Structure 1
Amino acid sequence: MRAWLAGWVMAAGASGAVQAEVWAFIDADGVAHVAPQQVDSRYRRVIGDAPGGNGSEAVPGKTDRTEGLLLWLQIAPEVKALAPLLREAALAHGVDEELLKAVIAVESGFNARAVSPRGAIGLMQITPVTGDRYATPLERRTPAATRLLDPKINVHTGARMLADLNRRYGGIDVALAAWNAGEGTVRRHGGKLPDIAETRAHVQMVLELYWALLQERQARGAREMKLQPAR
């Protein structure tokens, strides 16, 4: 559906109607209402180059506000496709499914093929060194740079890591800081959240999204979509 929406936006943009934006909201009946502009105050930007975005966000969580990202997580087919895997990893490693979803949204925007300039790979953006540390003996038979592109291996590896960091640091905020900045950085800051702007912003974004997802755990997802024409 997201790919179809992107095509719809491009077509609308080519006609001069909009500048590559998608706005949406989900009503009380679980119907997703989608439009190429903000029809009224209920609509939130999901895709596009409105203020706060750059029009080509490969990783929505890096730029979108929590409310827009929440809506995207409800309607994006790549997110729905990973739901069984996230539940499986959450049960296997004792990590909330919502936390896994929040980390993936912020780290890769659910792009399983994402590779960062620093060499972090896949959905949870795990480096090969870290991947080897948290791999099973069977997984180590395949090079980390290859196996971490497998969504199942990537998510299970990340879930093991999150569970381990949370146990050792006694709090999800510091665990996320160690995930982002490295355990050495956290140790140098006395085992507390480092006073590093990038790390604090990362932790805040993941925690905000995690909390919002927990609140919406019982909420009904979109069952239907209605499109509003471009003005």
Structure 2
Amino acid sequence: MRIRALLPLLASGLALAGAARAELWGYVDGAGVAHVAARPLNSRYSLVLGTPSAEQGRVPGKQDGSQGLLTWLEFAPEVKSVQPWLREAARRHGVDMELLKAIITVESGFKADAVSPRGAVGLMQIMAPAEQAARLLDPRANVHAGAAQLARLIKRFGRIDVALAAWNAGEGRVARHGGQMPPIPETQAHVHLVLELYWALLQRSLPAQARQLRIHSS
């Protein structure tokens, strides 16, 4: 259910929130809960009904600088060609498809034949012995191998950000820092980029999955 589909149910909620104008802000969280309020309570909220006042303006959220990239991810042929494998891998390994898509975007830009100077291969830039590298140039095999590896890292470290740090810097470095984010600028920047894009992709996909509604007082 999209947030806009919930609007007929929100008139009383807006009154309770003390809205002086027909204006509604909201977002859908990772659990599929739609949060709505009469004003943006933080940067996660975006306008879903009405026009923001001049003095209030639009609070810049995490999506604001990424609309062009999100549009490219929605329509690019190289992205569409691997969508079936992304869905398949997400179901099989229990990893969000949006997270897989964010990692691939940052790692390889959806270039299935990408090989880094260090020998990382394919869409998800997986390190592998030379005898396995050719197999990982196959998009389906690469996505499944990457999703399985990511699922294992999330299970081991218990947090997506730390799992992404282990993906970038290696499990050993993360383990040596007590299972926390290591103080490596390159790794921290990598994790930040992936999570920013993951958030934007979730915000675009989760409204269709919202099953609960929370109205927040201003």
TM > 0.5 fold call: yes
Gaps of 5+ in 1: 1-64, 133-142, 221-231
Q: Is 1:106 matched up with 2:106?
A: yes
What percent of counterpart residues are identical? Answer: 66
- The alpha carbon displacement at 1:218 in A equals 5.3
Read off the aligned partner of 1:211 and give its amino acid letter: W
User: For 2:102, what is the secondary structure of its paired residue?
Assistant: helix
Q: C-alpha distance in 1, partners of 2:185/2:75?
A: 31
Q: C-alpha distance in 1, partners of 2:178/2:195?
A: 21
Q: Is 1:97 matched up with 2:97?
A: yes
Q: Is 1:148 matched up with 2:160?
A: no
Query: Highest relative contact order (Cα 8 Å, sep 6+), 1 or 2?
Result: 2
Q: C-alpha distance in 2, partners of 1:183/1:79?
A: 29
Alignment deviations for residues 101-135 of structure 1 (CA, whole Å, 9 cap, x no partner): 00001000000000000000000000114xx9xxx
Aligned position for 1:181: 169
- The alpha carbon displacement at 1:71 in A equals 2.2
2:89 touches 2:144 (CA, 8 Å); kept in 1?
A: yes
Distance 1:80 1:218, change over 3 A: farther
Aligned position for 1:208: 196
How does the TM-score come out when normalised to structure 2? 0.63
1:165 touches 1:178 (CA, 8 Å); kept in 2?
A: yes
- The alpha carbon displacement at 1:66 in A equals 3.4
- The alpha carbon displacement at 1:69 in A equals 2.0
Q: C-alpha distance in 1, partners of 2:104/2:89?
A: 13
Q: C-alpha distance in 2, partners of 1:67/1:185?
A: 34
Q: Is 1:70 matched up with 2:70?
A: yes
Aligned position for 2:35: none
How does the TM-score come out when normalised to structure 1? 0.60
Q: C-alpha distance in 2, partners of 1:123/1:69?
A: 17
- The alpha carbon displacement at 1:100 in A equals 0.5
RMSD, matched Cα: 1.7
Q: Is 1:194 matched up with 2:166?
A: no
- The alpha carbon displacement at 1:75 in A equals 2.1
2:104 touches 2:110 (CA, 8 Å); kept in 1?
A: yes
Q: C-alpha distance in 2, partners of 1:73/1:144?
A: 28
1:119 touches 1:127 (CA, 8 Å); kept in 2?
A: yes
User: For 2:81, what is the secondary structure of its paired residue?
Assistant: helix
Q: C-alpha distance in 2, partners of 1:202/1:68?
A: 20
Of structures 1 and 2, the larger Rg is shown by 2
Read off the aligned partner of 2:127 and give its amino acid letter: T
Q: C-alpha distance in 2, partners of 1:79/1:85?
A: 11
1:66 touches 1:205 (CA, 8 Å); kept in 2?
A: no
Q: C-alpha distance in 2, partners of 1:180/1:68?
A: 26
Distance 1:146 1:99, change over 3 A: same
Moved beyond 6 Å, runs of 4+: none
Distance 1:200 1:78, change over 3 A: same
Alignment deviations for residues 116-168 of structure 1 (CA, whole Å, 9 cap, x no partner): 00000000000114xx9xxxxxxxxxx31110101111000000000000000
Alignment deviations for residues 169-203 of structure 1 (CA, whole Å, 9 cap, x no partner): 00000000000000111012111011111100100
User: For 1:186, what is the secondary structure of its paired residue?
Assistant: helix
1:66 touches 1:208 (CA, 8 Å); kept in 2?
A: no
